Amino acid sequence: MAFMQFFTILAIVVVFLSSAALATDHIVGDAKGWTINFDYDGWAKDKVFMVGDNLIFTYQKDKHNVFKVNGTAFHDCTIPPANEAYISGNDTITLLTPGKKWYICGVGKHCADLGMRLAINVVSRAGAPAPTPMPMPMPTPNPPSNSAFANVVSGYQVVAAAMVALMVMIFA
Query: Which residues, numbered 42-81, are part of the site for ligand NAG (CB under 6 A)?
Result: 58, 70, 72-73, 78, 80
**Is 92 near ligand NAG (CB under 6 A)?**
yes
Q: Which is nearer to ligand NAG, 17 or 119 (CB)?
A: 119
Phi and psi at residue 92, in whole multiples of 5°? -100, 120
Q: Which is nearer to ligand NAG, 70 or 121 (CB)?
A: 70
Q: Which is nearer to ligand NAG, 80 or 108 (CB)?
A: 80
3-class SS of residue 10: helix
Could you give the string, one character per residue 150-169, with x where binding to ligand NAG holds by CB under 6 A and - elsewhere?
A: --------------------
- Cα angle 74, 49, 22 (rounded to 5 degrees) comes to 140
Q: Which is nearer to ligand NAG, 17 or 27 (CB)?
A: 27
**Site size with ligand NAG, rule: CB under 6 A:** 8
Q: Which is nearer to ligand NAG, 20 or 31 (CB)?
A: 31
**What minimum distance in Å lies between the beta carbon of 150 and ligand NAG?**
28
End-to-end CA distance of the chain: 9
Where in the chain does DSSP place strands (E)? Answer: 25-27, 49-50, 54-58, 67-69, 90-94, 99-104, 117-123
Contact 153, 127 (CB under 8 A): yes
**What minimum distance in Å lies between the beta carbon of 44 and ligand NAG?**
20
Surface-to-core class of residue 82, CB atoms within 10 Å of its CB (0-12 exposed, 13-18 middle, 19+ buried): exposed
Q: Note the residues at the interface with ligand NAG (CB under 6 A).
A: 58, 70, 72-73, 78, 80, 90, 92
